[in-house]
Structure 1
């Protein structure tokens, strides 16, 4: 069984993305153009983390081939 890097990467991006998104909701004022950059990128990072976790879960179940070594 080989080490799948998608699991820790997914956890890392999900946790940091959630923290950045919460900071965007609570603490950061929107940019002068009106969009809340922290909220947008927090959601993007959390989404990327969720995709990595889903791919790691599919590989563990055997639906995907393991990553090349």
Structure 2
């Protein structure tokens, strides 16, 4: 079996999770320390709840990437077909 390694920081789930978590922390801080302006949102501190939700989802993405990592093989078989070659043209149906 070929040697393998994990995608790590290049796993898209880590990138998405990090961005969501950063925005979550910003909104959470705004919800805790800024004026809540609850009259605009019907009595709900929208920044606080959106920040908590984004933080939870972002951490969920990063946990998912850690629990089920993408495994990248070290050795890949050489492709015998030229991937830049155009595909064969299809014949017209029911015709001449």
Report the TM-score, using the length of structure 2 for normalisation.
0.57
Q: Does 1:18 align with 2:25?
A: yes
Structure 1: runs of 5+ lacking an equivalent: 61-65
Once the two structures are TM-superposed, the CA of residue 23 in structure 1 deviates from its matched residue by: 0.5
Between the aligned partners of 2:25 and 2:67, the Cα distance in structure 1 is 23
Once the two structures are TM-superposed, the CA of residue 43 in structure 1 deviates from its matched residue by: 0.4
Structure 2: runs of 5+ lacking an equivalent: 1-5, 71-96
The structure carrying a bigger strand percent of its residues is 2
Once the two structures are TM-superposed, the CA of residue 28 in structure 1 deviates from its matched residue by: 2.7
Between the aligned partners of 1:58 and 1:35, the Cα distance in structure 2 is 35
1:7 to 6, 14, 29: 14
SS at match of 1:43: helix
The structure carrying a bigger helix percent of its residues is 1
CA RMSD of aligned residues (A): 1.5
User: Following superposition, which runs of at least 4 residues in structure 1 exceed 4 angstroms of deviation?
Assistant: none
Q: Which has the larger radius of gyration?
A: 2
Report the TM-score, using the length of structure 1 for normalisation.
0.77
